[in-house]
Amino acid sequence: MAFTPQMPERNVQSAPMTGSRTYITTPIYYVNDKPHIGHLYTTTLCDVYARFFRFAGWDVFFLTGTDEHGQKIEKAAQERGITPQALADENAAEFEKLMTNAGFTHDDFIRTTQPRHVKQVQAFVSRLHEAGYIYLGEYEGWYDEGQEEYIPENKAKDSDYKSTTSGKPLIKAKEQNFYFKLSAFQDRMEKLLIDQPDFVRPEARRNEVLGRLREGLQDVPMSRTNFSWGVPMPNDPQHVIYVWIDALMNYATALGLGDHDSEEYKSRSKYWPATYHVVGKEILWFHAVIWPSILMALELPLPRCVYAHSFWIREGQKMSKSLGNFIDLAAINQYLDAYGSDMWRYYMITHGPLGATDANFSASQYHDVYHADLVNTVGNCSSRVTAMINKYFDGEVPTESPQGKRMIIADVDWPALANSAVQDTTQAMEKLDFPGAMLATLGLMRKVDGFINHTEPFKLAKDDTRRDELGAILYQCLEAVRISSLLLWSALPTKMEELWVALGLDIDPRQGELPKLAAWGGLQVGTKIKKVALFPRVDNPVEN
């Protein structure tokens, strides 16, 4: 057994939020499968967050990519009679194309077969070895082939010796491996989860991890010898590094943390530690326990939060290849064609499995949410206001301060309302509470609707003596719509940009000026605007 080095206490704490620099990651996706809703889902969550905070002026780094080593890839390539690298190149290109077509704004797309990654993984493993965290041993136990995961006896028994992911029987594995001394981190891991309750979110997931931690950590095999498609162990190339260890390190290698001479290190190491690793619940253990332990062993700071969402399911059933009920790209395209790409993003972030329970993907719910939130709220509110300004003021933005002083109508303090929508949306976004963020913004638009119904500008328009009042009402409505559109942009980029054009606004979100732009009064009096119709009604839900 290797010795148990003592780690300095400081490494137990992950870094606090910086408030102005943030690093968010998706899992890196396996290249043996075709992309599907799950991949798009996690990446959409990260994209909305990344866009919002770039626009808010933060220094953001958003990473996604592909996981290309391991037995599964080797097998899939053999079945097709091609090399694993050829299979990886082909499918990684498909993932990358999808990410680009979906308009995702990742700053890098990492592939684990890239030399930059391989080199750093070997450097990290050498460091772990030198620090005494790796030793040679014999593994005899259960193995989930599909997940490429070693399963402890008690967990295997609980699942009736079947994979909890694929349902396939676990296999008995006996092999000589290098082990990572995970057991050395028992106390520090428990302390981390207790001292920093937000280290794993949502709360229910944290409790699961803590429960399993308390059963005791066992050392884990970290190399394999029965196949060769992987990163060779630096000290013994007969072994390849276990795909999960290789994959987890992507979050650090993309920033060059394993190679201080690299360009990546110079320009990107400032982003470490990650603010969020966003993952699906099935891979939480790797991210919440194995990865932090590796980081502690490497004396690197820990991420601030591992966010493990649940699954999209269909008609109450898990989506799986065997059931053939995956929402695949063909199905997704039907939704995109019928409702547009912004609605896809909106549905993902507001009705997805962000919390501890799975979310049912439903065509009828999709249809209803589109009409309630986008057609009847965002669309209706913007078209009502722009139409009235066109009708009553020839499309020229009127003033809210006809006598040089802002008119207060119906006792509504619009600057305060808008300011709290900005604060509430930002705070919710920071917590990855996307439904909360959308509720705060749509709340502002709903107030505009209520204000119109209450003040009845269409009646005032008939009275020439009340033009000042009419102008002030419409200015306030349009200004609230403008501020809402800034807050909605990260979720609905296409339509909000369309709205900005109609409002004569020249906005480049990459300039990071959201806080300045969101201040009340930014709308210029006299600007020529056009009437908008952003979200057309759709007759019937998609059938599939």
Residues that bind ligand ME8 (CB under 6 A): 27-30, 33, 38-39, 41-42, 67, 247-248, 250, 279-280, 283, 311-312, 319
User: Rounded to a whole number, what is the distance in angstroms from the first to the last CA of the chain?
Assistant: 56
Q: Which residue's CB is nearer to ligand ME8, number 178 or number 312?
A: 312
CB of 313 to ligand ME8, least distance (A): 7
Name the nearest CA neighbour of 32 among 123, 182, 147: 147
Quote the least distance from Cβ 186 to ligand ME8, whole Å: 23
The 3-state secondary structure of 63-114 reads EEEEECCCHHHHHHHHHHCCCHHHHHHHHHHHHHHHHHHCCCCCCEEEECCC
Closest CB to ligand ME8 among 358 and 430? Answer: 358
Identify the bridge partners of residue 427 per DSSP, sorted by sequence position.
Answer: none
Of 298 and 514, nearer to ligand ME8 (C-beta) is: 298
**Nearest-CB residue to ligand ME8?**
38
Smaller CB separation from ligand ME8, 65 or 398: 65
User: In the complex with ligand ME8, which residue's Cβ is closer, 90 or 413?
Assistant: 90
Helix axes 84-101, 71-80, angle to 10 degrees: 100
Q: Which of 495, 396, 374, 392 lies closest to 441, judged by CA?
A: 374
C-alpha dist (Å) from residue 157 to 140, 220, 323, 406, 485: 15, 18, 25, 70, 52
Smallest distance, Å, CB 476 to ligand ME8?
Answer: 41
Q: How far is the CB of 274 from ligand ME8 (least distance, A)?
A: 12
Query: Nearest approach, Cβ of 441 to ligand ME8 (angstroms)?
Result: 24
**Whole-angstrom distance, CA of residue 225 vs CA of residue 241:** 9
Taking the complex as a whole, how short is the minimal distance between the CB of residue 194 and ligand ME8, in angstroms?
25
Q: Residue 478's closest CA among 497, 456, 451, 458? A: 451
Per DSSP, 13 falls in state: S
Q: Which is nearer to ligand ME8, 52 or 361 (CB)?
A: 361
User: 311 vs 475, which CB is nearer to ligand ME8?
Assistant: 311
Kindly state the smallest distance separating residue 248's Cβ from ligand ME8, in Å.
5
Shortest spacing between CB 112 and ligand ME8, in angstroms:
9
Type of residue at 521: G
**d(C-alpha 99, C-alpha 41), whole Å:** 11
The nearest distance, CB 349 to ligand ME8, in angstroms, is 13
* SS3 at position 229: coil
Helix (H) or strand (E) holding 305: strand 305-309
C-beta of 25 vs 341, nearer to ligand ME8: 25
Tell me whether residue 166 or residue 494 sits nearer to ligand ME8 (CB atom): 166
Task: Give strand pairing partners of 59.
Answer: 21
CA separation, residue 313 to residues 360, 367, 369, 399, 434 (Å) = 5, 17, 18, 50, 19
